[in-house]
């Protein structure tokens, strides 16, 4: 399903990039997004942050099994597929994380007795994977034309052994750091939709990560806007 990045199937013109040198503010790795790379799902997006790449696809609102049907809202399902091997317990907890974000932002009461399914395929993990999954999910839902309360994005921060906080860590910074904080923020108030941490940190460090992530999320939301406006100016 997931085409590798360097083949011709990817239309490179559609991938816009934000360079960290040009933009002011805290450094993020280059962000790229392509909407509708896949033809069969109702909405899809490929999202990249540096070398980390995730492909997201949305199906729905579609038919739902009676046992899973909810009379006042759509049933949300998130499936996360790792790059290799079978999904395990870690993937289940990441699915729970993303689904929680969707439950808070997607206006699922508009489509009662239906199912909305989000499939996330990890193309490459080079750090901040969960954050990338969250952003990919947002762009795929937008592509599917589903009503959202607000946009959302994922931002990760790594705290190094000496206490310095680095935004959007690569695989090495993530592995060698003392702690990793992944946050999902909403576009309306830049508040915490979801939070996940690994390692030990103190309350001040968490607040600093939160402040940095809020600043960084502005850049991601700007990127969303650029990306979508460029897409619609083409047709």
Partner 1 sequence: SGTMAAGFKTAEPVEYYRSFLKENCRPDGRELGEFRVTTLNIGSLSTADGSALVKVGNTTVICGVKGELAAPTSEAPDQGFIVPNLELPPLCSPRFRPGPPGEQAQAASQFLADVIDSSHIIALQDLCIEKGKLAWVLYCDLMCLDYDGNILDACSIALLAALQNLTLPKVGVSKETGLAQVTVQERLPVKVGNYPVSTSFSIFDGTVLLVDPTDEEEALSCGMVTIVTDEEDQLCAVHKPGGSPLSAEQMQDCVTRAVQRGAEVRRLLHETLKSVGR
Contacts of 167 (CB under 8 A, 6+ apart): 26, 27, 28, 155, 156, 157, 212, 213, 216
Beta bridge partners of 72: none
Q: Taking CB under 8 A as the rule, does residue 122 contact partner 1?
A: no
Q: Taking CB under 8 A as the rule, does residue 172 contact partner 1?
A: no
CB of 122 to partner 1, least distance (A): 17
Task: Take residue 9 and report the two structure tokens written for it.
Answer: 């199937």
Residue number with CB closer to partner 1 (53 or 209)? 209
Beta bridge partners of 62: 115
Q: Taking CB under 8 A as the rule, does residue 62 contact partner 1?
A: no
Spatial contact of 166 and 178, defined as CB atoms under 8 Å apart: no
Q: Taking CB under 8 A as the rule, does residue 184 contact partner 1?
A: yes
Residue number with CB closer to partner 1 (198 or 225)? 198
Residues 69-98 that bind partner 1 (CB under 8 A): 89-90, 92-93, 95-98
Task: Take residue 212 and report the two structure tokens written for it.
Answer: 């940095």
State which of residues 104, 160, 171, 228 lies at the interface with partner 1 (CB under 8 A): 104
Residue number with CB closer to partner 1 (17 or 191)? 191
State which of residues 57, 137, 193, 216 lies at the interface with partner 1 (CB under 8 A): 193
CB of 212 to partner 1, least distance (A): 12
Q: Taking CB under 8 A as the rule, does residue 27 contact partner 1?
A: no
Choose among 105, 208, 95: nearest CA to 151: 105
Query: If binding means CB under 8 A, how many residues of this protein chain bind partner 1?
Result: 38
Buried b / exposed e along 58-94 (16+ C-beta atoms within 10 A): bbbbeebeeeeeeeebbbbbbebbbeeeeeeeebeeb
| Residue 130 half-sphere exposure toward CB, CA atoms < 13 A | 25
> How far is it, in rounded angstroms, from Cα 84 to Cα 227?
30
Stretch that binds partner 1, among 37-45, 108-116, 191-199, 220-228 (CB under 8 A): 191-199
Q: Taking CB under 8 A as the rule, does residue 179 contact partner 1?
A: yes
Residue number with CB closer to partner 1 (152 or 223)? 152
Instruction: List residues near partner 1 by CB under 8 A.
Output: 89-90, 92-93, 95-104, 179, 181, 184-186, 189, 191-203, 206-207, 210-211, 214
């Amino acid at each position: 399903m997931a085409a590798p990045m360097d083949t011709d199937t990817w239309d490179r013109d559609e991938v816009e990039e934000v360079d960290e040198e040009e933009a002011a503010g805290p450094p993020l790795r280059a962000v790229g997004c392509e909407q509708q790379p896949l033809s069969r799902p109702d909405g899809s997006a490929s999202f990249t942050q540096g070398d980390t790449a995730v492909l997201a696809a949305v199906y729905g609102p579609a038919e739902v099994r009676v046992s899973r049907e909810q009379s006042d809202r759509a049933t949300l399902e998130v499936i996360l597929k790792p790059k290799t091997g079978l999904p395990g317990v870690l993937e289940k907890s990441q699915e729970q994380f993303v689904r929680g974000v969707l439950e808070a932002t997607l206006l699922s009461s508009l489509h009662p007795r239906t199912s909305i399914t989000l499939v996330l395929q990890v193309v490459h993990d080079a750090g901040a994977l969960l954050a990338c999954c969250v952003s990919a999910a947002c762009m795929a839902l937008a592509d599917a034309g589903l009503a959202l309360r607000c946009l959302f994005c994922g931002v990760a921060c790594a705290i190094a052994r000496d206490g310095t906080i680095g935004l959007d860590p690569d695989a090495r910074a993530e592995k060698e750091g003392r702690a990793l904080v992944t946050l999902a923020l909403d576009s309306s108030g830049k508040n915490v939709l979801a939070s996940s941490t690994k390692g030990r940190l103190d309350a001040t460090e968490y607040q600093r990560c939160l402040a940095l992530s809020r600043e960084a999320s502005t850049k991601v939301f700007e990127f969303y806007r650029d990306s979508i406006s460029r897409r619609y100016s083409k047709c």
